[in-house]
Structure 1
């Protein structure tokens, strides 16, 4: 219990400082004292406007999406008992991205709020397709990875083809496809906040059954759990969390793959702790990665997905080399 408490304590400290750096670092540098004062100021100075209208919603989006993708990855690894499962590897992100690009081309009049529903549809299609491809003959980590990467590349190639033939209506999509949270505002926060909060709360409610399911189907059945309903509920939550995240920030990869592994190392296999710990560490990772992304082509912005890919790519190869163990 001491180790779990220490993990949460250190995680909150890291989140606090990464949050402050997110508000401070940029083309216009602002010191920490001014940042803290600007958060509670009613004045319309340059610093206050930058903090309250630009960087604060961006940092909050980073926290929400980082937490959501990490929880989605934890849920996927729990229901499949496959350590390589994640929204990106399972095709959830790519499916949501494809449907959103199609909607942008065909129906550009749809609002951001409406786009979330199309993201849910695409996430479901992508995830179910990869699951169907990997399931016959038994699903193992390497087979899942191959099916997921194949589907990801296939859907991505379709997206790129659509962009080539519709350059005028998709000029802003390429940056979004790399996974980016810069340019987000309070409207984006309002759009996804209800969905992500609901998904996180529901994930905590199924944490105990999910822990039993992770021990094996026979054990879960013997303890009276309805494993079919647990998997369906978890899959719906993955679609909810990952779909809403993609609708705003694009297909940010590897957060859902890396963080659940770290969380289980730190707090054990009980999902009562794995889920909140994953949420906390996922928020820390994405907000910190967003800060680092600002230095790649400073003072210009770079997609945060570049940083998560640089971190997650080697980790994915490490897991695949070990057979996902």
Structure 2
């Protein structure tokens, strides 16, 4: 009887979590609709529908050539960074882990900036170069933080050290190539101005492949949360799993950095918010982070684009305004 009662409670909890995921899907659709309608020219939902159905008016051109690719890009970038953050928090056993904070995005950033200002003719290599940079940064952090296991505080300290070192390299590049600083500075802040369908095509395969790949590892992520000894006792190759998942997180972060620049704090804020509303089970937490990440970045970009119109702020500034207090709150609570 107790077993049957327990099954009923678990089914009820799972049903509630599925309803939350359905609500997050609605939130993502609403966020995209707001992004498409708001701007220098207000566009009604009917006009958006007409544009998606092949309309030829001026507003249809605004939707199809400017706002739709930008909105899709914000969704994909948010999904990638939120997924990367959720994975890193489990892999590194650190609730403060985030691609931007611990230096993985900086590794991707210095590789992207190097190509952008030193060899711009190879701009098509920004994503693979950013991936290599992110992976090397993650490897350095992992090596520096390892001492009879991984500790959250050591991860933060190692990440700060690696990020500072990479930041010095970025500064050196900007000084040596001062005539090309403006484009690189805008990219470092993180934003979506002047993005087009080519950027959507660039990030789409990484988003689809990366997110689906990570979703296959939700069971492994749950086991990692139990601790290394228990994970090994359950037959998991802990180090191999960590390497695979860190590489996947690095690829997701690098693809986002390559099209949006160094957009910070998404991987920190979103997984924690998702954890508060849906729990720590990665079977539900990861899909929730994916959906909520797309919504948060899309709404942040919309606010940054419209709040001070006609001046457009980079979305990275707005995310920093949200993220820094959130990070300090978590840091104070964890330490």
Q: Give the TM-score range, shorter chain.
A: over 0.9
Equivalent runs, 1:34-113 vs 2, <5 Å: 34-43=47-56, 45-112=57-124
Q: Show the counterpart of 1:9.
A: 22
Aligned pair count reads 322
1:241 aligned residue (238, 249, 252):
252
Residue correspondence of structure 1 range 90-169 to structure 2 within 5 A: 90-112=102-124, 114-136=125-147, 139-169=150-180
RMSD across aligned C-alpha pairs, in angstroms?
1.7
Q: Output aligned runs, 1:175-186, within 5 Å.
A: 175-186=186-197
Taking the aligned partners of 1:204 and 1:23, their CA distance within structure 2 comes to 29
Matches of 2:150 and 2:323 in 1, distance apart? 22
Aligned 8 A contact 1:206 1:230 in 2: no
CA distance, structure 1, for counterparts of residue 142 and residue 154 of structure 2: 10
Give, in angstroms, the shift of residue 296 of structure 1. 4.3
* Range that drifts further, 167-176 or 198-207: 167-176
Return the structure number with greater helix share.
2
The secondary structure found in structure 2 opposite 1:109 is helix
Q: Which of 27, 35, 43 matches 1:30?
A: 43
**Following the alignment from structure 1 to structure 2, what is the Cα–Cα distance between the partners of residues 210 and 6?**
23
CA distance in 1, matches of 2:331, 2:207: 30
* SS of residue in 1 equivalent to 2:179: coil
**What per-residue deviation string (whole Å, max 9, x for no partner) do you get for residues 109-156 of structure 1?**
0133x2111011111122222223333475433332233234323322
1:230, CA displacement in angstroms? 1.1
Which contiguous aligned blocks of 4+ residues in structure 1 show a shift greater than 4 angstroms? none
1:232–1:143: structure 2 CA closer, same or farther, 3 Å change rule? closer
**Aligned match of 1:274:** 285
Deviation, 1:233, is 1.1
Q: Judge conservation of contact 2:92–2:152 (CA < 8 Å) in 1.
A: no
8 Å Cα contact 2:116-2:123 kept in structure 1: no
Structure 1 alignment gaps of length 5 or more:
none
CA distance in 2 between partners of 1:297 and 1:155 (Å): 33
Deviation at 1:232, TM superposition (A): 1.3
Contact 1:210 1:230 in 2 (8 A): no
Residue of 188, 203, 215 corresponding to 1:192:
203
1:175 Cα offset (Å): 1.0
Which of 317, 330, 335 aligns to 1:319? It is 330
1:196 positional shift: 1.6
| Deviates most, 276-285 or 226-235 | 226-235
Q: Is the 8 A contact 1:208 1:271 kept in 2?
A: yes
1:207 aligns with 2:218: yes
Q: Could you tell me whether the CA contact under 8 Å between 1:142 and 1:323 is conserved in 2?
A: no
Deviates more, 1:132-141 or 1:286-295: 132-141
